[in-house]
Amino acid sequence: MPRLRDHLANEEVIEGACWRCKKQVVQKELEQWFIKITDYKERLLEDLNGLKHWPERVLTMQRNWIGKSSGVEIFFKEKETGELIRVFTTRADTIFGATYIVLAPSIPW
């Protein structure tokens, strides 16, 4: 039976070594499973609070990686067509400072 090994995210490697045990890190090709973490993001974020011995910078990186954002959707009206452009922002309090909106070419109209 194969031994289970630790797998580290890039932010858990400091100067080529594991931040916990200080062993040298070796990069390998692995078969792996992928899960849709967005279905579990609330639980993942809550469980990070129980990791008392992890460095705060690693916990912050993990929270950012999980990527939960709280905010609002704001609508802007396109000047010529009157079409509404929906924008998500985490800083509605700064919206009055917006001078333009950039849309990716892939945005469907």
Could you give the CA distance from residue 43 to residue 37 in angstroms, rounded to a whole number?
Answer: 10
Residues 11-63 pLDDT 10s: 888 999 988 889 999 888 878 787 777 788 899 999 999 999 999 999 998 88
Task: Check whether 64 has a pLDDT greater than 80.
Answer: yes
Question: pTM of the prediction?
Answer: 0.42
Q: Please name the residues in contact with 95: beta carbons below 8 A apart, sequence gap of 6 or more.
A: 74, 89
What integer pLDDT is reported at residue 3 of this predicted model? 45
Across the range 76-100, mean pLDDT stands at: 89
